[in-house]
Structure 1
């Protein structure tokens, strides 16, 4: 039996450093994909803290989609919730996001880069290369995957550069084999300042309830500001949602915090596209006392298992149809990896993501948002609705975010 060629791709995201909208149809598509991906990751990833980029995964699947046919194409389109036949019609929000990124914006830094690394001598269809270059602005690079160490260093070096040094050593020689023919890489880097910065002198060591009976001492930032806040309830589960905008208001960090007696997993089960749409319409501008841990997370996700849970199966077996990429037979995907880091502190951010639920704002005179127990977060591009980064914090101490001045706190 002929051994299959191995087609592998990886997505890398830079970390976020955080220091002290109206919904659209394409935004709904982005949100639905993000919710489905989050649910799938939860099923296969048992880490305390979880971090991933729905945007990065959707871009890589979009790059694959340009060369997929048959059932393989159908599964990708189903996962991405795509409509239409033309590539430009299927990524309506990406044009808006790309326009913001391409503008000279002094309020924040956002770099998005894609690359295709091809085995020297391996024949790839010109149409596929041109489509990736024209639509995704992908760089086309030739390497020799037979030298696994050199090719791993080359790709990792590109990711390192694109993410401003936040993602290092993404690939090792063990990740690349003699059958590897193509590697697709996506790198995202974001750095932004809070619209309302936290005051470093207000940061204090406080207890964070990791789980029942387990606490950790964490530097907690505090700030009183006017921002959007909402109180929600579903199935006897109460929680808050807070928006912290970045300078320029194009991007925002959203935090979802369950009440003290609610497990974070129960809140995750409630999250759907319609629930998140309710969040954005029901938030009210309030004077809020915010207490947020300063933390740093680095997380590497093997996305193959998650995509299988989302019924993207043919990519990973000999039923894979990538005939739009090459005429070579027996091509399939071998690896899907994403590595993301995020750091939250007083200055800003630097990044290298139920049915019948009823939402209502409760009447309160004093508003507070105290994240002293597990919470969910995501960074959203407000115009397109694209979720760039999304994650869960159950133990801020794991990432060693105690910082430069923890000894003096």
Structure 2
């Protein structure tokens, strides 16, 4: 069996499929959501390409939903060329900021909620430096369109700040994501941290069966490994693309009533040992995948169980995709947050997925650290003339040594 590429779609099929696949309780937003979903899928495909190239042969999992939510919250405070770069990279340069935020909200409203079927829980948060005031219209927008809850913290105590944020992330992801941030990310110039957490838990519509016989899995270097296998006989959507993507896809539905709204897409290469490089045409084809349009066929699916964890430097990924000014101390314009000059110092993403016979658990978290670019001022003390020195003992309140230096070159 050839290597698999895991395309975990942490969005409902409504993002790209026809209206018949939208949950009955959800109402599509009253704007052209399909254009927005297509733009976001293209953004996701480009991000996938960058992350794969940076990860070499390592396993990878990430949530484009989580990253785009934090990017949307930054966009709400971005101005001038910083804003333009974000809009261009998202693929929506010709629309208003409000339209983007409305569509972001529309997308999350269409996601499965806790109850009968798979659940995808999303939380957004803002940690703001104590006594620091963000513009009220900025925090209100984040509350209205991202359901972001704001709380204060003390980044000068870097260990405490790190612990509080990591605890928030662990709480939102059922402890699947640990230690998203570290104390080195915070200091007295940290003004806020924008956070997103995603937790997914879904059972297969039809359970797989396990096997005591291992699956021989072919690695990219030509070697093989015996891995745990699971099997499923079912009617599944399948697409064989022998031209642009040169991949064989199958869609595995999660349990959610008669019409599945959330699926896992698995794609394996047709003619090569590993996954081929994604060309521009392949990226476009990947972004337009619509499993609801694939043929339904009888399949005996055999695949490995797997657990994958990734920590991604999303700052580097976004810079390669064209967002550079946001991270430049002197060029960033986040004046929609506060009048103080601000920039993004860190943009980090962690994700984890566990797949077995019963279903899938997955979680992701993203943080953007916003800093003041103000140079910390120090009082000047230059010793460039004859000086007194002494070694003073505090408990005894006495000098142990005393002296003077008229010429530092003279012994």
**TM-score of the aligned structures, taking structure 1 as reference length:** 0.76
8 Å CA contact 2:237–2:292 kept in 1: the answer is: no
Structure 1 runs not aligned, ≥5 long? 1-13, 354-387, 389-409
2:353 maps to which of 332, 336, 342: 342
Partner of 2:368: none
Which residue is equivalent to 1:333? 344
Specify which structure has the higher proportion of strand: 1
Where does residue 268 of structure 2 map in the other structure?
Answer: 257
CA RMSD of aligned residues (A): 2.5
Residues 278 and 109 of structure 1, relative CA distance in 2, 3 Å threshold = closer
Alignment match of 2:331 (pick from 319, 325, 346): 319
Matches within 5 A, 1:129-148: 129-148=139-158
* Deviates most, 80-89 or 299-308: 80-89
Whether 1:217 and 2:226 are equivalent positions in the alignment is yes
Aligned CA distance change for structure 1 residues 93 and 325 (closer, same or farther; 3 Å):
closer
Cα gap change, 1:268 to 1:287, in 2 (>3 Å): farther
Counterparts of 1:10-21 in structure 2 under 5 Å? none
Match of 2:254 among 225, 229, 246: 246
Q: CA deviation at 1:267?
A: 5.6
Higher RCO by CA contacts (8 Å cutoff, separation 6 or greater): 1
Give, in whole Å, the separation in 1 of the partners of 2:289 and 2:363: 29
When normalised by structure 2's length, the TM-score is 0.75
CA offsets, 1:21-52, max 9 Å, x none?
62632221121110111122233333511111
Report the secondary structure of 1:271's partner residue: helix
Matching residue of 2:169: 159
Give the secondary structure class of the aligned counterpart of 1:341: strand
Q: Indicate the SS of the match to 1:228.
A: strand
Judge which range, 258-267 or 36-45, deviates more: 258-267
Farther-moved stretch of structure 1 (262-271 vs 337-346):
262-271
The alpha carbon displacement at 1:210 in A equals 1.2
Give the C-alpha shift of residue 196 in structure 1. 1.3
Moved over 6 A (4+): none
Equivalent positions of 1:254-293 (< 5 A) are 254-266=265-277, 271-277=282-288, 280=291, 283-293=294-304
Cα deviation digits, residues 340-386 of structure 1 (max 9, x gap)? 00011000111119xxxxxxxxxxxxxxxxxxxxxxxxxxxxxxxxx
The structure whose Rg is larger is 2
- For residues 247 and 208 of structure 2, the distance between their equivalents in structure 1, rounded to whole angstroms, comes to 23
d(CA) in 2 for partners of 1:211 and 1:274?
A: 24
Partner of 2:399: none
**8 Å Cα contact 1:83/1:90 also seen in 2:** no
3-state SS of 1:211 partner: coil
Q: After superposing the two structures, state which structure 1 stretch, 91-100 or 305-314, moved more.
A: 91-100
Deviation at 1:93?
A: 4.4
Write the distance in 1 (CA, Å) between the matches of 2:84 and 2:119: 35
Q: Give 5+ residue unaligned stretches, structure 2.
A: 1-7, 11-15, 19-33, 366-411
Task: Please say if residues 236 and 299 of structure 2, whose CA atoms lie closer than 8 Å, have aligned partners that are also in contact.
Answer: yes
> Which of 289, 300, 304 is the aligned partner of 2:311?
300
**Alpha carbons of 1:39 and 1:103: their partners in 2 closer, same or farther (altered >3 Å)?**
closer
Query: Which digits, 9 at most, give the CA deviation of each residue in 1:305-347, with x for residues without a partner?
Result: 1111111000111100000001112x11111100000011000
Counterpart position of 1:52: 62
Q: Distance in 2 between matches of 1:151 and 1:132?
A: 21
Distance in 1 between residues matched to 2:86 and 2:145, nearest whole Å = 17
1:26/1:92 contact within 8 Å kept: no
